[in-house]
Structure 1
């Protein structure tokens, strides 16, 4: 069974708005590109899918915009090629190498996890909270930025129950951001 990994940027006060952290540099872009390379597919809710597609889908003319540096282009190339699953009850179809996931969320994601491979990566806010509530996330990758945003949306806001995690990896970046990788803690029976 392949693991489901939740990966997201977060500020010190828990804000997960995509513009709240430090500006991504080459080191952070490489980290996120490596995370995608370590997954068979990306799993998004509709809102995150549409935001990512707008920012990172290869333009029709095949030329990346001038604002992208080499690291951003590598990230964009990797994401553009990646298989994507989109959880939505409002979309009828998707493009960008994506497939719709509809119906019972828990059953659909369990089927995806049962397939062989390196793993699945989920991002965003609402879908990830739902998957955490269902106990379907195996690993959590938080890149914590040295910023207090003072606003939300907040990481796991509205989560129904506490989730025990154990730290398995930690990496510091020159920007001051710190990647922390956690796995679900084994139930102690308490």
Structure 2
């Protein structure tokens, strides 16, 4: 049995997935994303997402989290910082932050990762998940839908060539109006 590959992302009502287009994170949504991280043993990112996440959530060299971080953001960082990370990139020569580069045949590399024992692999980003969806490798999709119309920016799974049939597994609402929808591929 293979471990599941789970894609999770914040998305606006008009399908925008730009990280600045939704609502600012609140304690409830940060707790949700922290729990999502705990479901996996590894993270799979492309270069842009890796660099974005590292700049926001890596423990500073001082070892102390910045004063501006809310307790829920510190909790998220504490979970994310030590997790094993796999970075798909042809542009980077090296990575750190508990990370390894993934090169060559994407399908073969991800199938190999999924075959390893574990609770699951979380994938994030924009372009990489579309490529993985085209390969039929994503087992679960979690969309955290923000009640905002962004009007611009990259779109959810833009570039997927074929229909991906999904079955709703969970739906819940946050006090902020955000709706979490979790789907399983069928």
Unaligned runs of 5+ in 2: none
**Rounded Cα–Cα distance in structure 2 between residues aligned with 1:124 and 1:150:** 19
Q: Secondary structure at the match of 1:81?
A: coil
Tell me which stretches of 4 or more aligned residues in structure 1 moved more than 2 Å. Answer: none
Normalising by structure 2, report the TM-score: 0.98
What secondary structure does 1:9 align onto?
strand
| Structure 1: unaligned runs, 5 residues or longer | 186-190
Which secondary structure state, in structure 2, belongs to the residue aligned with residue 113 of structure 1? Answer: helix
State how far apart, in whole Å, the 1-side matches of 2:21 and 2:29 are.
15
Question: Which residue matches 1:72?
Answer: 73
Q: How does 1:1-190 map to 2 (within 5 A)?
A: 1-185=2-186
Structure 2 counterpart SS, 1:180? strand
SS of residue matched to 1:32: helix
Partner of 1:188: none
Q: CA deviation at 1:70?
A: 0.6
Q: Note the C-alpha offset of 1:117.
A: 1.1
Measured after TM superposition, the shift of residue 39 of structure 1 is: 0.3
Work out the CA distance in 1 between the residues paired with 2:24 and 2:51.
Answer: 21
Deviation at 1:157, TM superposition (A): 1.2
Whole-Å separation in 2 of the counterparts to 1:157 and 1:102: 22
- Could you list the per-position Cα deviations for residues 13-48 of structure 1 after superposition, in whole angstroms to 9, with x for gaps in the alignment? 000000111111111000000000000101000010
Superposition deviation, residue 116 in structure 1: 1.2
Q: TM-score, normalised by structure 1?
A: 0.96
Q: Which moved more, 1:135-144 or 1:60-69?
A: 60-69
1:116 & 1:4 partners in 2: Cα distance? 12
Taking the aligned partners of 2:16 and 2:24, their CA distance within structure 1 comes to: 15
